[in-house]
Structure 1
């Protein structure tokens, strides 16, 4: 993983984890132990899914820049299907509060995306490869 990708990952994961702690406390206060468990499972789901998505896109970007968009979209599709399958499989489970789980996943997804956008904007990622630019400086017409 490149250092820029690692900074973006930290910039998204840390605020999401902190918001997750708030969600667990809120779940405990509003719905008791089942609420806290639902929130904790939601926090784990969001952190694992989005971290894996970033790792896959980072890995693919080292292989081929042309495949990055496809990897991101395919990763999104896989996450979407996995969440639907998880919700369908655990539809009648009463061990945790499903409403707290759902609201936690929704809110932490928004927090992750906002934090990731902010970290990406502030990452100062170079968009010109300096090796090519310095090599082309001596050529006529450049």
Structure 2
């Protein structure tokens, strides 16, 4: 993974994980062990889904840059629908608290998206290649008068 991709992943995953730790503590304090487990599962699920989506998006950007924007929109839509399906599937579970799970999943997803937008805005990515402009300029030959 190139350093820019790794930096982007770190800048998005770290705030999400931090919010997850806070959610586990709050869920454990408010609901108990099942609340902490629900918050942990919600955080891990958000990290896995959004991390996999970032990986797919970066691979698409490298191999098929013309599809990058369409792929990004389709990917976020698919991720949100899949997360909604997970919330619906675990609605009546007794393994962990489903309300804490759903709230944590939504909050972790929103934090991931906000952190990803911030990381992209802070990244210094050239949208033109300065070296290619130097090589494409024709050299002046002949008299300058």
User: Normalising by structure 2, what TM-score?
Assistant: 0.87
SS of structure 2 residue aligned to 1:26? helix
Relative contact order, higher structure (CA 8 A, sep 6+):
1
Partner in structure 1 of residue 34 of structure 2:
34
Q: Would the alpha carbon gap of residues 103 and 88 (structure 1) be closer, same or farther in structure 2, given more than 3 Å must change?
A: closer
- Contact 1:7/1:123 (<8 A) preserved: no
- Contact 1:38/1:96 (<8 A) preserved: yes
Structure 2 CA distance for aligned equivalents of residues 65 and 138 of structure 1: 29
Displaced runs of 4 or more, over 4 A: none
SS of structure 1 residue aligned to 2:32? helix
Larger Rg: 2
CA displacement at 1:87 relative to structure 2: 2.5
Q: Which moved more, 1:29-38 or 1:74-83?
A: 74-83
- Contact 1:16/1:112 (<8 A) preserved: yes
CA displacement at 1:131 relative to structure 2: 4.0
Partner in structure 2 of residue 63 of structure 1:
63
CA displacement at 1:103 relative to structure 2: 1.1
Structure 2 CA distance for aligned equivalents of residues 134 and 71 of structure 1: 33
Partner in structure 2 of residue 23 of structure 1:
23
CA displacement at 1:130 relative to structure 2: 3.1
User: Normalising by structure 1, what TM-score?
Assistant: 0.89
Alignment size in residue pairs: 140
- The root-mean-square deviation of aligned C-alpha atoms, in Å, is 1.7
